[in-house]
């Protein structure tokens, strides 16, 4: 959470501001307030907030003077001026002093939340680049990356070879864990609303022991595994913690630890696959329902959910001339697409029933070129968004499988290949033309999952995104 400090000579105004905004929802927390500019200047030097809300007119040091003095003292907080005076001169002067924003009393939550969203984006870009680039070290699997990762841990005061070892946790959600007071900790932004935490195992246990419900505000799921003592096991440990964090999707649990019960139970999945291969409707329903029970009891995780998803989709389109392209490549996408595993299983069951009943495909237009032009135009404009064959088939009122065939015939490549080529071309331009963090470039190119972006980039380009940027 980012720290917020409030300044106003009327305490009722401060209390009103605290209550009028759901600070935690946007990744902020109010850590203190002052009733004068002089008191605020001293307090801000101690608590070092990320954002300061200050009134303009106060006895002694005014809000504008406070901003100027803080800037002169080297303070890097963002400043938002609040006032009951709707005068352009005040707003203009506040901006000249370096204020981030200007809002009026009485407070409007929508206006303040808009400032908070913009402020959070700026603050995240300010985070040390070495923490952001660690995501590359987690993805790479070579001796050089291992040494660099071990050095980063040592710099943070973490000895992975010690008796207690390294603890790893992953959170899913727009907010991060409150770790401002934990110096021996590395935070890695893994993608959209996903963070990994690397810290000493003893510290992780103490953190989890004192975890309160309020600490999880803005976090859907938190997973953590057992202590590890070797650098080459970090990547797998992060993956385990990520799967555990997604238990909110399968069982509704917000905090999940690795236990002996986490051994994979793939028997039912194998039986479903065999039934699908034999097209045995009775067995398909039997094992599909069994899987539903296993998900409900927490014995299967989101990795298994993704496997089941692809098995069912492959079966429903296996006899088609062109294989159906589902374009669901990550846990993030699956969880966003359905919300819960129960919703996913209900939709898949409907697909199976339709397939087994021999449902007829919809009649589609034969005018392929005329049909294809608006489709390709739309993709060229929206390839960085969350687009897929199913969504576009609904948009253009065309059968999904027919659209896939049409794309292959007209474009000479599959839908996935075409969208991937557009996204990677855009990513390459950003890598060479900007200094933006690579995980942000991944998101701006249409990939919510950084690790998937890195893998697909390396597969197509032959090198990692970071190597492409540096010319290695």
| Claim to verify: residue 100 and residue 154 sit in the same structural domain | no
Q: Kindly report the pTM of this predicted structure.
A: 0.56
**Structural domain count, the chain:** 4
For 171-212, write each residue's pLDDT tens digit: 998 888 877 556 678 888 887 678 899 998 988 988 888 888
Q: Is 403 exposed, middle or buried (0-12, 13-18, 19+ CB in 10 A)?
A: buried
Confidence label for 264 from pLDDT (cuts 50, 70 and 90): very low
How is residue 228 annotated by DSSP? B
| Claim to verify: residue 113 and residue 190 sit in the same structural domain | no
The three state secondary structure string of 440-457 is HHHHHCCCCEHHHHHHHH
| Claim to verify: residue 375 and residue 336 sit in the same structural domain | no
| Claim to verify: residue 117 and residue 162 sit in the same structural domain | no
Domain, as residue range, for 397: 368-470
- The pair of structure tokens assigned to 356 is 């087994």
- Region 395-407: mean pLDDT is 82
In a domain, 205, yes or no: yes
For 90-122, write each residue's pLDDT tens digit: 666 666 666 788 877 777 778 888 888 888 888
CATH number at residue 406: 1.10.10.60
Per the CB < 8 A criterion, the answer to whether 305 and 312 are in contact is: no
Q: Which residue has the higher pLDDT, 383 or 366?
A: 383
What is residue 129's predicted lDDT score, i.e. its pLDDT? 40
Share of the chain above pLDDT 70, in %: 84
Select from 110, 126, 142 the last residue of a domain: 126
| Claim to verify: residue 111 and residue 167 sit in the same structural domain | no
| Claim to verify: residue 12 and residue 101 sit in the same structural domain | yes
In a domain, 251, yes or no: no
| Claim to verify: residue 95 and residue 176 sit in the same structural domain | no
Q: Which residue has the higher pLDDT, 46 or 248?
A: 248
| Claim to verify: residue 122 and residue 139 sit in the same structural domain | no
- pLDDT at 3 > cutoff 60: yes
Share of the chain above pLDDT 90, in %: 14
For 220-263, write each residue's pLDDT tens digit: 999 998 999 998 888 889 988 999 999 999 888 899 887 654 44
| Claim to verify: residue 195 and residue 229 sit in the same structural domain | yes
What is residue 174's predicted lDDT score, i.e. its pLDDT? 82
The torsion angles phi and psi of 31, rounded to 5 degrees, stand at -105, -5
| Claim to verify: residue 118 and residue 139 sit in the same structural domain | no
What is residue 368's predicted lDDT score, i.e. its pLDDT? 47
CATH number at residue 109: 3.40.50.2300
In a domain, 259, yes or no: no
| Claim to verify: residue 348 and residue 457 sit in the same structural domain | no
Q: Which residue has the higher pLDDT, 349 or 286?
A: 349
In a domain, 55, yes or no: yes
The rounded distance, in Å, linking the Cα atoms of 468 and 457 is: 10
In a domain, 361, yes or no: no
Confidence label for 471 from pLDDT (cuts 50, 70 and 90): low
| Claim to verify: residue 10 and residue 107 sit in the same structural domain | yes
In a domain, 79, yes or no: yes
Confidence label for 132 from pLDDT (cuts 50, 70 and 90): very low
């Amino acid at each position: 959470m980012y720290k917020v400090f409030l300044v106003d000579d009327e305490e009722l105004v401060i209390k009103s501001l605290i209550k009028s905004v759901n600070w935690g929802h946007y990744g902020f927390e109010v850590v203190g307030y002052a009733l004068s500019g002089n008191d605020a200047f001293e307090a801000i030097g101690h608590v070092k907030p990320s954002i300061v809300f200050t009134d303009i007119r106060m006895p002694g040091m005014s809000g504008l003077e406070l901003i100027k003095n803080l800037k002169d003292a080297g303070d890097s907080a963002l400043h938002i001026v609040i006032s009951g005076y709707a005068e352009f001169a005040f707003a203009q002067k506040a901006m000249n002093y370096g204020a981030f924003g200007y809002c009026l009393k009485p407070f409007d939550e929508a206006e303040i939340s808009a400032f908070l969203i913009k402020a959070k984006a700026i603050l995240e870009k300010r985070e040390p680049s070495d923490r952001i680039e660690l995501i590359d070290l987690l993805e790479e699997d070579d001796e050089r990356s291992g040494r660099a990762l071990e050095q980063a841990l040592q710099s943070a005061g973490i000895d992975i070879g010690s008796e207690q070892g390294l603890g790893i946790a992953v959170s899913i959600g727009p907010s991060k864990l409150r770790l401002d007071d934990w110096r021996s900790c590395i935070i890695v932004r893994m993608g959209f609303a996903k963070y990994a935490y690397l810290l000493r195992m003893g510290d992780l246990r103490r953190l989890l022991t004192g975890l309160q419900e309020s600490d999880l505000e803005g976090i859907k799921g938190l997973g953590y595994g057992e202590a590890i003592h070797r650098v080459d096991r970090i990547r797998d440990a992060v993956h385990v913690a990520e799967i555990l964090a997604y238990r909110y999707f399968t069982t509704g649990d917000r905090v999940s630890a690795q236990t002996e019960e986490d051994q994979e139970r793939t028997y039912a999945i194998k039986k479903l696959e065999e039934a699908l291969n034999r097209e045995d409707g009775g067995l398909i329903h039997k094992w599909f329902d069994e899987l539903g029970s296993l998900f409900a009891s927490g014995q299967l995780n989101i990795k298994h959910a993704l496997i089941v998803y692809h098995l069912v989709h492959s079966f429903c389109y296996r006899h088609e001339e062109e294989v159906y392209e589902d374009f669901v490549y990550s846990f993030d996408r699956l969880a966003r697409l359905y919300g819960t595993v129960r919703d996913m299983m209900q939709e898949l069951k409907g697909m199976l029933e339709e397939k087994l009943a021999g449902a007829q495909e919809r009649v589609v237009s034969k005018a392929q070129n005329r049909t294809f032009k608006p489709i390709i135009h739309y993709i060229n404009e929206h390839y960085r968004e969350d687009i897929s064959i199913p969504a576009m088939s609904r948009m253009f009122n065309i059968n999904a499988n027919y659209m896939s065939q049409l794309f292959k015939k007209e474009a000479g490549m599959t839908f996935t290949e075409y969208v991937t080529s557009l996204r990677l071309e855009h990513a390459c331009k950003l890598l060479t033309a900007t200094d933006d963090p690579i995980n942000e470039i991944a998101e701006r190119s249409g990939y919510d999952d950084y690790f998937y972006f890195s893998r697909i980039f390396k597969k197509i380009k032959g090198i990692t995104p970071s190597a492409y940027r540096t010319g290695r």
